[in-house]
Amino acid sequence: DAKTTQPNSMESNEEEPVHLPCNHSTISGTDYIHWYRQLPSQGPEYVIHGLTSNVNNRMASLAIAEDRKSSTLILHRATLRDAAVYYCILDSNYQLIWGAGTKLIIKP
Amino acid sequence: EPEVTQTPSHQVTQMGQEVILRCVPISNHLYFYWYRQILGQKVEFLVSFYNNEISEKSEIFDDQFSVERPDGSNFTLKIRSTKLEDSAMYFCASSFDRLGNTIYFGEGSWLTVV
């Protein structure tokens, strides 16, 4: 199974950018990279996804390394509402394979 | 914005009883999924469903589990004889297409087996 590695937790100050890293060295050519987040007691929420090129949407940006073995989720200006567990997931063989995620703590 | 809805939000059942968890996926979506999350653990894939049949399933999805789309809107997960270790949050999800598509999750059904 394609796997991802993320730091267990990260802290950031409110209104500052946040860079959440993810390693996926076993990624295969057709695996999409997805990011979801989960707030306490809620279902996972889609953030962004990409294949090879960097992606931007209203929530975040996704920077994908040229060799695709790592990626970084960028929250441009973190707010307290962005405090959640962020999951970097490979869409592999038509299944989302979840890791433990990164708990993002936002300090006011 | 369209959303995936799940019922019940919380169910307590006795070990050995059958449980049915219900989901209404987003109306124009074609792919449906069940995931589960045991308390404090990671989200785990159970099964995906397309064109009225299972397309993929994990090792967790054994003979005790079944899925059904009984009508045009509902998507159900049945656990025939619940075990203590089935206690978890069960998430239903749906997507319009498959590879590389956004998957939308419901808020979950919390199952407690006692």
3-state SS record for chain A = CCCCECCCEEEEECCCCEEEEEECCCCCCCCEEEEEEECCCCCCEEEEEECCCCEECCCCEEEECCCCCEEEEEECCCCHHHCEEEEEEEEECCEEECCCCEEEEEEC
Question: In this complex, do A94 and B48 lie within 8 Å of one another by their Cβ atoms?
Answer: yes
CA atoms within 13 A on the CB side of A83: 12
Report the DSSP beta bridge partners of residue A72. A21, A63
3-class DSSP state of B86: helix
In whole angstroms, what is the distance from residue B108 CA to residue B22 CA?
A: 10
Please compute the mean of the pLDDT values over residues B85-96 and round it to a whole number: 96
User: What is the percentage of chain A residues whose pLDDT exceeds 90?
Assistant: 76
pLDDT value at residue B39 = 92
Identify whether the C-beta of residue A77 lies closer than 8 Å to the C-beta of residue A67: no
Contact between chains at A95 and B44 (C-beta distance less than 8 A): no
Average pLDDT over residues B43-72: 93
Chain A residues close to B103, C-beta within 8 Å: 34, 46, 96
Confidence at A2, pLDDT banded by 50, 70, 90: low
Answer yes or no: are the C-beta atoms of B103 and B49 closer than 8 Å.
no
Residue among A30, A93, A100 whose CB faces B42 most closely: A100
Question: What integer is the mean pLDDT of B50-76?
Answer: 93
Interface of A with B in 4-63 (CB under 8 A): 30, 32, 34, 36, 38, 42-46, 49, 51
The mean pLDDT value for B11-16 works out to 98
Give the Å distances, CA to CA, from B97 to A48, A90, A94, B29, B104.
16, 16, 11, 7, 11
Contact A92, A2 (CB under 8 A): yes
Poorest-pLDDT segment among A11-20, B72-81, B96-105: B96-105
Question: Would an 8 Å CB–CB cutoff place B39 in contact with chain A?
Answer: no
Q: Name residues 2-31 of chain B within 8 A of A (Cβ).
A: 4
Q: Which residues of B touch A30 (CB under 8 A)?
A: 99
Contact by Cβ (8 Å): A27, B85: no
More confident residue, B7 or B97: B7
Give the pLDDT confidence score for residue B70 in this predicted structure: 86
pLDDT tens, residue by residue, A44-89: 999 999 999 999 999 999 999 999 999 999 999 999 999 999 999 9
Which pair of tokens denotes residue B109? Answer: 């059904």
Rounded mean pLDDT, B2-7: 92
Is residue B21 scored above 80 in pLDDT? yes
Tell me the pLDDT tens digit for each residue of B24-48.
999 999 999 999 999 988 899 999 9
Query: Which pLDDT score, from 0 to 100, does residue A42 have?
Result: 87
For residue A54, CA distances in Å to A33, A36, A62, A79, A82 come to 11, 16, 5, 23, 21
According to the model, what pLDDT value does residue A1 have? Answer: 55
Whether pLDDT at B99 is above 80: no
- Residues B92 and B99 sit within 8 Å (Cβ to Cβ): no
pLDDT digits (tens, 9 = 90+) for A74-84: 999 999 999 99
pLDDT at A13: 95
Euclidean distance between CA atoms B101 and A96, whole angstroms: 11
Contacts of B96 in chain A (CB under 8 A): none
Q: How sure is the predictor about B53, in pLDDT bands with cuts at 50, 70 and 90?
A: very high
